[in-house]
Every structure is written in C-alpha cells, then in structure tokens.
Amino acid sequence: MVIGYTTGVFDLFHIGHLNMLKNAKSMCDKLIVGVTTDELVAYKNKKAVIPFEERLEIVRNIKFVDAVIPQESMNKFEAWEKLKFDIVFVGDDWYNSDKWNKYEEQFKEVGVKIIYFPYYKGTSSTLINETLLNLRENRQA
C-alpha cells in the first residue's frame, strides 16, 4: 500500500485545492492530508477566513481524502516520522528552495518520493481574499 501525504491551509476552498487532492490520490492508495491549524497559519502573517475546524471538516469530506490530521508544524520530516508515508506532494513553488532541497536529502535516505505539483495559476485563496477586501473597501467609500 502506497501512502501519500500533503498539507495545506485549504482556506476558501477552490478548484485548485480539489485538483491537487484528486491528482495526489491518483498516485497513492491512501491519501493523508494535513490541514494547517489557525495558529500555524499565523507563520505567514495571515489569518484564515474559515476557522480550522470547518476547514478540517471540508477536507475530511472530499472523496479523494482518506484521512485528515491537524498540521501543527511546518516540519514535513517530523510528519513522516509519525505517519511513515511513501510520497509527499507539494506545490512546485517550493521546488529548488533551500528548505525543500534539505527535505529531498532527508527523504531520499528513507525512500520517500517528493512529487512537485504545478502551482495552480487560476483561482487562489489570496486572490479571493483580495477581491473581497476590495469589494468591502469600495462599499465603504
């Protein structure tokens, strides 16, 4: 059985999120998804619009997802030590970054494959948030 793992905030869930989970599931038998906690979202100096428990429930109910866990740490190798996944899926915006080059070395030693998915260029949670902010500001003006 091939176990896959990916993580995300999954705020303002959109087609890019769904496609990533669908593609990940097509490459493994069991897909575990870490949903970033509200506290960890703050590392990006951001705040999720949808509360953690609701984001967790949304992802839990997607047919491509077999298990959902809270992502309380950014350290993917620590996650592997607990979950022992065979493949980790990540956006290609991390490709060749110092952080993921280090992970590549660590994961190679334990036989974990890293799959970089193309970063979705269409709808994004950031774009949705910016659009909503602009709408709110224009209504107040």
How far is 17 from 8, CA to CA, in rounded Å?
9
Rounded to a whole number of angstroms, the CA Rg of the chain reads: 16
Active-site residue identified among 22, 30, 46, 47? 46
Active-site residue identified among 44, 63, 82, 121? 44
- Classified as helix, coil or strand, 84 is coil
Is 46 noted as a catalytic residue in this protein? yes
Write down the residue that tokens 């309380």 correspond to: 72
Write down the residue that tokens 């077999």 correspond to: 66
Is 108 noted as a catalytic residue in this protein? no
List, by residue number, the catalytic residues: 44, 46
